Structure 1
Amino acid sequence: MSITPLAAVASVHRSAPAFRGRIGRDARSGHYAVPHRYRLHVSTACPDGLRLAVGHSLLGLDTACPVTFLPAVPDCPGDGHSALRPLYEASAHHYTGPALAPVLSDDWSGRVVSTHAPDILRDLDRLPRAGRGSLYPCGLESVIEAVERMCAEGIEEAAQRAGQAGAGPAERAAALDVLLDTLGRLENRLTGEEYLADDRLTAADVELWVALVQLDLVHGCHLDASAVHRIAGHRALWTYARRLSAHPAFGRHLDPDGISRRHQDRCQGLEAAGAAVPILDWAGLLAEAERGYHG
């Protein structure tokens, strides 16, 4: 299958084509599922990059699909990551847009396969591996997709609207209600349960953990203190986030400082009182996890 740029993705000064090549199950796909052919390029300061890094580790693909880790803030402001530019230029004729992460590339051709994070994680799940379960188990697809929607719409988008300085008080309050309702439903689902789906780690847990990291370290900075305290009141959710952070596949990719630097580089909103009310000590969790890895 050829690599074809699809709809443009907005950028500050330019636009980058979105690549939606897929890894198929046989040679007819053009990109078929064989080890040692593909490479993942991510920044773990980016939520999409963090999801992919965690999923990649859970699948045990370090050898079958190497990862290139990129800095939190791209080294070419407005143009993305210089390390990715050869891939983009090889994949789109006369390409002049920013070289953005994440990227799944094909080492055989030196081109981009995909820049669409949800597709990439599902395709990594197709790569051959020994003794590792699937992140998308058969029969749980609808549950995982429902959690993905809740995280995208009920947490990420709602938190952004609730902290948007240009929005009116009523609009911010309505968005906060959506956020708190979503957190409450997820809290109820996790009460007495270790994971979100069928008592096993799946892509749903990766999705929710990253959403909670972003909620605390990024979106909370634009909320008032009372809103953050109400968010923090969902004890089962934050206990779950703390527990997953101790898992090597999650904790080794947690970069609170990088997330903060990326946020400061990109954000044009005003900081609010919620910035002074962190919910979890992510740096402390990271240090505990590292001690556990080497202990």
Structure 2
Amino acid sequence: MGTDAESGEFVREALGVAERITADGSSPWPVEAGRYRLVAARACPWANRVVIARRLLGLEDAISMGIAGPLHDERSWRFHLDPGDKDPVLGIEYLREAYEKAVPGYDKGVTVPAMVEVASGKVATNAYAELEFDLATQWSSLHREGAPDLFPEKYRDEIDAVGQGIFHDVNNGVYKCGFATTQAAYEKAFGALFARLDELSDRLAGQRYLVGDTITAADVRLWVTLVRFDAAYHGHFKANRQKLTEMPVLWAYARDLFQTPGFGDTIDFDQIKQHYYGVHSSVNPSGVVPLGPDTSGWLTEHGRESLGGRPFGDGTPPGPPPASERVPALPA
């Protein structure tokens, strides 16, 4: 991550290992059960997208998952929640070690999610958007029975179009607000963020999901930012025109998905706050982590069923997450 010195605008760094994992032989990395370990972090929205896709598609047995802790330093994400501060499968303390095995002298960003080949310990890819798509399409032979179609072919252009706006103005937009170093850059990002949220609210006022009548990748992309909004972005990133809880349509939509298997069961609010407030020293030099907000509202009725829609289409909900991947339950 960086900031343009002249404009003060946040600029997201290019991905460093933008390969793909495919079943059709179009990449050096083949689809194979047990070959890769997904390294994610509960704090990170970009990783959360892939974690949700893996859950919905039932790929837990085919792709193991390691969880980096919420705190890291200049050496990268680290496994400080695991015994001995090392990932139990990869045997590494810092994710950078897997990047350097893949690219000696690696000098770009060390990001999650990252798919790591277990045998070699090398990062195969950190291209989160391509990985999300490929889990849904290239890994289909390993999907659970009843897995939903996150990229229905007839809606792919619409999903991409909606997703582009979400990426630039919402997913990345909150970071543009938080890391802006000039008033003009901040106000530009702030305006684009809330204009896009207003547009999405209007769209969702009359339909349960963003594209079609089922959950698609577009919903996953928007939701990972919404679920972190009040806990991190409203205060920490100064995205404070309104809280999510003060935007009725988006708040109900976000609660609907939170209560859908595969979404809320991937979220740890404490780790989210620990990361944002504890790592971004330029934004929060004290490192003090807030105790709020109250999260019990996520479990309240949302009323979105009245709009129709079939969450999983012709498929079924995923089962409970593996015991090793369960997150703390919210207060009722």
TM over 0.5: yes
| Equivalent position amino acid for 1:144 in 2 | I
Matches for 1:50-129 after TM superposition, within 5 Å: 50-74=48-72, 77-80=73-76, 81=78, 82-95=93-106, 99-125=110-136, 126-127=138-139, 128=141, 129=143
Label 1:290 to 1:25 Cα distance change in 2 as closer, same or farther (>3 A): closer
DSSP-derived class of the 2:130 partner:
helix
DSSP-derived class of the 1:18 partner:
coil
Structure 1 counterpart of 2:169, from 145, 154, 168: 154
Please state how far the C-alpha of 1:93 moved relative to its aligned partner. 2.3
Aligned counterparts of 2:195 and 2:117: Cα–Cα separation in 1:
42
Name the structure 2 match of 1:134. 149
Please state how far the C-alpha of 1:17 moved relative to its aligned partner. 7.1
**Contact 1:53/1:253 (8 A) holds in 2:** yes
Please state how far the C-alpha of 1:281 moved relative to its aligned partner. 3.9
| Equivalent position amino acid for 2:251 in 1 | W
Aligned counterparts of 1:94 and 1:172: Cα–Cα separation in 2:
35
Please state how far the C-alpha of 1:147 moved relative to its aligned partner. 2.5
Please state how far the C-alpha of 1:141 moved relative to its aligned partner. 1.5
Name the structure 1 match of 2:323. none
DSSP-derived class of the 2:153 partner:
coil
Matches for 1:1-295 after TM superposition, within 5 Å: 18-27=16-25, 29-74=27-72, 77-80=73-76, 81=78, 82-95=93-106, 99-125=110-136, 126-127=138-139, 128=141, 129-131=143-145, 132-162=147-177, 166-168=181-183, 172-221=186-235, 222-223=237-238, 227-228=241-242, 232-267=245-280, 268-269=282-283, 281-282=294-295, 285=298
Aligned counterparts of 2:224 and 2:297: Cα–Cα separation in 1:
17
**Contact 1:151/1:211 (8 A) holds in 2:** no
Backbone CA RMSD of aligned residues: 3.5
Alpha-carbon displacement from aligned partner over 1:247-277 (angstroms, at most 9, x marks no partner): 2211111111111111112322269xxx99x
Please state how far the C-alpha of 1:105 moved relative to its aligned partner. 1.7
**Contact 1:10/1:16 (8 A) holds in 2:** no
Number of residue pairs aligned between Structure 1 and Structure 2: 272
Alpha-carbon displacement from aligned partner over 1:104-143 (angstroms, at most 9, x marks no partner): 1223443211012111111212212132122111122222
Any unmatched runs of 5+ in structure 1? 1-8
**Contact 1:252/1:286 (8 A) holds in 2:** no
Aligned counterparts of 1:183 and 1:17: Cα–Cα separation in 2:
26
Aligned counterparts of 2:188 and 2:24: Cα–Cα separation in 1:
48
Q: Identify the range of structure 1 (239-248 vs 212-221) with the bigger mean alpha-carbon deviation.
A: 212-221
